[in-house]
Amino acid sequence: MNKKIEELCNRQIEREGYSSNLYLAMASWAENNGYPGFASWLYSQSEEEKEHMLKFIRYINERGGKAQIPAFKKPPADFKNIKDLFNEVLKHEKFITASINEIFDATLSEKDYSTSNFLQWFLAEQVEEEASVHNIIDKLNMMPANNIYPLDKEIMTLRSKK
């Protein structure tokens, strides 16, 4: 496997794993702060991020590279409020999108078209994830801050449609 692409994919293992831990920390905060619906959405998001990390691990190994399992930075344990938390989710997803785009760019300049093809799934996934977080933020902005409970209930059924 092309060394530069292998390094970037290994870096992405850490980023996807951190995403999983970050959403786990957020889910736990939401659970402790009376938002079972948001907590459930975030727990399932955390699972998805773990799957993304596994996709990179398996892909690197399948291509003859060596997947590295990194140490992860501790995610924050406290959040100002639920709106702030989801703004953080969106910010993080934009960071992940930029990171995937960067690897995609590198695969084109390195002519590693198999990895470009592998990354197509992630490019589409990021569009979907950003849209679904935008949707939650829009709804949160429409609710009075002291009456988020109906939205929390709705989110319980909304979650990811995947």
Catalog residues that contact ligand OFO under the rule CB under 6 A.
16, 19, 49, 52, 93, 96, 122, 125, 129
Q: In angstroms, give the least distance from the CB of 103 to ligand OFO.
A: 11
- Per-residue CA distances from 114 to 25, 28, 69, 75 (Å): 34, 38, 23, 33
What is the nearest approach in angstroms of ligand OFO to the Cβ of residue 35?
A: 20
Using alpha carbons, select from 48, 4, 53 the residue that is nearest to residue 27. 48
Q: What is the DSSP string of 9-57?
A: HHHHHHHHHHHHHHHHHHHHHHHHTT-HHHHHHHHHHHHHHHHHHHHHH
Nearest residue to ligand OFO by CB is 52
The minimum distance between CB 16 and ligand OFO, in angstroms, equals 5
Q: Which is closer to ligand OFO, CB of 19 or CB of 40? A: 19
Q: How far apart are CA 131 and CA 120, in angstroms?
A: 17
- Nearer Cβ to ligand OFO, position 82 or 96? 96
Q: Is the separation of the CB atoms in 18 and 75 below 8 Å?
A: yes
Q: Least distance in Å: CB of 96 to ligand OFO?
A: 4
Nearer to ligand OFO, 112 or 129 (CB): 129
- Residue 35 or 122 having the CB closest to ligand OFO: 122
One-letter amino acid for residue 79 of the chain: F
Q: How far is the CB of 21 from ligand OFO (least distance, A)?
A: 12
Number of other CB atoms surrounding residue 104 within 10 Å: 17
Q: Which is nearer to ligand OFO, 31 or 125 (CB)?
A: 125
